[in-house]
Amino acid sequence: MTASTTKDEELIRMYLATRKNQYFETLYQRYSNKVYRRCFSLTKCSAKAEDYMHDIFIRVHSNLGNFKERSTFSTWLYSISYNYCMDQIRQSQRLSMVMIDEEMEHYIADEVEYDHREEQIQTLNMAIQTVSSDEAMLLKLKYEEDLDIKEIAEKFNLKDSAVKMRLKRTRDKIRNHYTYRLNG
């Protein structure tokens, strides 16, 4: 039996047992076009779709040990692809970019604005320090390590809704402390 005719789940088991990249490369060859098309259908941009596809496969490669075979590999990969793209789209909508041309350069933030931004960052750091270590860990897993709600729920043996509520309450606490310190 060759790698090209082997089932996905068997390829994953062989890769995890041997760490030979040929097994993962077979999965990549099987699914890279499908993942690209999924990303393109969501972003409508070929450059973003290609970047996202590569990011997704890097993420899949590093998390293959977390594949539990509760679903097919293709379903798992589709879920990761969709969630990753939607997260990137949501993040780009929150952080809209503006191109600055040469005539607008003189409007770029001066030293006073820089000091104000630095003060905001310090205030935010102090607000973050007011939450418990468990709350801080939830935020870290979600926003720094980019775990999804299900992964966090499994890690803490909680329901998805409990993780969502704890994240919301923690964000609210930080927002309240931040606003109080900034305005107070």
Provide the residue-wise pLDDT of the chain in tens; the chain has 184 residues. 566 678 889 988 988 899 888 888 999 999 999 999 999 999 999 999 999 999 999 999 988 888 888 888 999 999 999 999 999 988 887 765 566 655 555 555 455 566 667 777 777 777 778 888 888 888 888 887 888 899 989 988 999 999 899 889 988 888 887 777 667 6
Indicate the burial class of 11 (C-beta count within 10 angstroms; 0-12, 13-18, 19 or more). buried
The domain over range 3-94 is classified in CATH as 1.10.1740.10: yes
Delimit the domains of the chain by residue range.
Answer: 3-94, 102-183
Query: Whole-prediction pTM value?
Result: 0.50
The span from the CA of 26 to the CA of 24, in Å, is 5
* Segments in 95-159 forming alpha helices (H): 111-128, 133-139, 149-156
The span from the CA of 63 to the CA of 145, in Å, is 12
Domain 102-183 fold is: Arc Repressor Mutant, subunit A (1.10.10)
The span from the CA of 54 to the CA of 39, in Å, is 11
